[in-house]
Structure 1
Amino acid sequence: MADNILMIEDAPAARTRKRRPTIEEDDSYLLKIQKLANAMLKSIRDNELGLETNKSKETAKKRSVRMLSASTTSAKKKRKVPRKYVRMPVVINEVTERLNEFVTNELKGTELQLVIQKRLYYSDTLQSQNRLSIPVKQMENVEFLTTDETRTLNNKVNKIEVLLVGPTLKVYNKPMELTTWNMQSSVNYVLKSHWFEFWSENRACLKEGSKIQVWSFRRGRQLCFAVVCVEKPGGDDQEDVVA
């Protein structure tokens, strides 16, 4: 009987040895699992951050490309492309023939030569401008001045008083001045002083868009000019310049 009691009392002890691990072992096991889980989470986070960084870099790169493209397009729109002058055939008609006869026979002029053929621009008709522009790049003849006249235009005086004949072959009764204006890429000749008044008196002939010719000639030693209209606005070759 005693032996049976001892066996019964010993049984719980044996079962106790087979129980689950102790609390310390549980804590150690959980700590290992937590470390593994943290390591996995860190790895996943790093991968995600790496993807996000790459995406951010890609997005920033695309944004920069778009901004550069937009800036280039805007610059192209704002940039003024220089207009290239296309030289048109010189017009010879009854107007030029009458001018030749008038200068030679009536005014006893000499050295008649075409200086420029151009369209009469809007700026040539403005009172605020009060000048006729003679762009050097469009001139038919740049050697119409004497050495002394060239020297005068290059010094501080920078002007020569000239006589002017209008499109109706009438001598204008007020003296005009020839001078030069320094442009960005060249030097232009300019007829000024009483130009707007002259144009106003001849506006029926010198309409904006008309093709005009400016001729130079001499009366004795005096430099003179004649301005005539050889083609009305809206001619077949209206555009003398192209982009």
Structure 2
Amino acid sequence: MSKFLSKILLPILMREAGMCDVGEENLMIENPNMIIRKLQINDIEKNCGPVEDVEEEEYGCKETEQDDDDDACKKLKEISVKKIIEKKYEAALKKPVVEDPLENDSIVISSESSERKRKRNSCKRKAKSNGRSGEGSSSRNNEKNRTNPREVPAPPLPIQFKNAILDIAQGRTVSEVKLVIQKQLFASDMAKDQNRFTIPANQIREEFLSNEERIYLSRYASKGRKVAMEVKIIEPLLGEGTVELRRWDLKKYSGRSSLSYVLNKTWGEICENNKLKTGDVMQLWAVRVDEELVLVLVKLA
């Protein structure tokens, strides 16, 4: 009973699904082997595209009611189906391989996105460095960006200061005209409560002290305070005066110490009398009149 129903219902279902027409449905009811062949060809068309109808006569087998159980005919049908599949696969293999354009596009997009990330990160780092607050961080950034002051070309000593030196010498021998430092006046140099002009040792262009003077300035007058040496000075407006020269040994948080010399005592008066201000570029020269040390302070235009 089940065989009878499958032979009749299956062709009807295939017609309802659009896999055959009315004529093929009747043939399938009369010849059940056509159902197998139709299902095989339909499966091939789904995977490999439409196929041409294969005449069973080519392979020496024609569908009739008498050969329903013929094993040889079934084998020939399988062979025919295999040949159709092989032809379709061979045709598919012969098609030129087209490169997927999205692959290259994805590479370009990924590289562009990585470039955007790199630029965004660099912008963030710049924003962080610009947004840092505090005197310590800003001073460290300034030190990194600042060129070595000793490498900046220095103008020569102006003629009016040379004449002022000769007036002080009064016939004595003038020698060893040396540029000690060329620097910009900072807020710390102009602070009234500090009252000193700093000469960092690592910015000194030429050694201007004798051995005896260096030994003398390294001594202590009291606990934590070095001795001072009084020196004549020619001021920027060509006035004559005196100033104290001291040595400073400053200890840093890292444990290291830095050496500086300072001009103090009358430094505040010199700034006021010569109208000096923060940002002025100054030169400090050292001159020997016989063996006496004389300093010359020049304000550059």
Instruction: Give TM-score, length-normalised by structure 2.
Output: 0.46
Distance (whole Å) between structure 2 residues aligned to residue 146 and residue 138 of structure 1 = 18
- 2:265 is the counterpart of 1:193: yes
SS across alignment from 1:207: coil
Give the C-alpha shift of residue 178 in structure 1: 0.5
- 2:222 is the counterpart of 1:150: no
Distance (whole Å) between structure 2 residues aligned to residue 164 and residue 116 of structure 1 = 15
Question: Highest relative contact order (Cα 8 Å, sep 6+), 1 or 2?
Answer: 1
Tell me which amino acid in the other structure corresponds to 1:207.
K
8 Å CA contact 1:90, 1:117 repeated in 2: no
Deviates more, 1:80-89 or 1:215-224: 80-89
Distance (whole Å) between structure 1 residues aligned to residue 277 and residue 195 of structure 2 = 15
- 2:133 is the counterpart of 1:133: no
Which string of whole-angstrom CA distances, capped at 9 and with x for unpartnered residues, describes residues 112-171 of structure 1?
Answer: 110000001121112101110111122211x21111111111111322111111011121
When residues 91 and 97 of structure 1 are mapped into structure 2, their CA distance, relative to the original with a 3 A threshold, is: farther
From 174, 184, 190, the equivalent of 1:119 is 184
Distance (whole Å) between structure 2 residues aligned to residue 151 and residue 218 of structure 1 = 18
- 2:170 is the counterpart of 1:102: no
SS across alignment from 1:198: helix
Identity %: 30
SS across alignment from 2:205: coil
8 Å CA contact 2:164, 2:234 repeated in 1: no
Tell me which amino acid in the other structure corresponds to 1:107.
I
Which string of whole-angstrom CA distances, capped at 9 and with x for unpartnered residues, describes residues 69-109 of structure 1?
Answer: xxxx89x947723614413533326x623323432x32234
SS across alignment from 1:191: strand
Distance (whole Å) between structure 2 residues aligned to residue 133 and residue 164 of structure 1 = 15
8 Å CA contact 2:184, 2:280 repeated in 1: yes
Distance (whole Å) between structure 2 residues aligned to residue 136 and residue 97 of structure 1 = 27
Count of residue pairs brought into register by the alignment: 151
Where does residue 243 of structure 2 map in the other structure? 176
Which string of whole-angstrom CA distances, capped at 9 and with x for unpartnered residues, describes residues 14-40 of structure 1?
Answer: xxxxxxxxxxxxxxxxxxxxxxxxxxx
Distance (whole Å) between structure 2 residues aligned to residue 116 and residue 97 of structure 1 = 19
Tell me which amino acid in the other structure corresponds to 1:100.
K
For structure 1, the 5+ residue unaligned runs are 1-72, 232-243
Distance (whole Å) between structure 2 residues aligned to residue 192 and residue 126 of structure 1 = 12
For 1:159-238, list aligned pairs within 5 A: 159-172=228-241, 175-183=242-250, 184=252, 185-203=257-275, 206-231=276-301
Q: Structure 1 residue runs of 4+, over 3 Å off?
A: 76-79
Distance (whole Å) between structure 2 residues aligned to residue 209 and residue 127 of structure 1 = 16
SS across alignment from 2:300: strand
For 1:62-101, list aligned pairs within 5 A: 77=132, 80=137, 81=140, 83-84=143-144, 85-86=146-147, 87=149, 89-92=152-155, 96-101=158-163
Structure with bigger gyration radius: 2
Distance (whole Å) between structure 2 residues aligned to residue 97 and residue 140 of structure 1 = 21
SS across alignment from 2:176: strand
**Is the helix fraction higher in 1 or 2?**
2
Distance (whole Å) between structure 1 residues aligned to residue 200 and residue 293 of structure 2 = 19
For structure 2, the 5+ residue unaligned runs are 1-127, 222-226
Instruction: Give TM-score, length-normalised by structure 1.
Output: 0.56
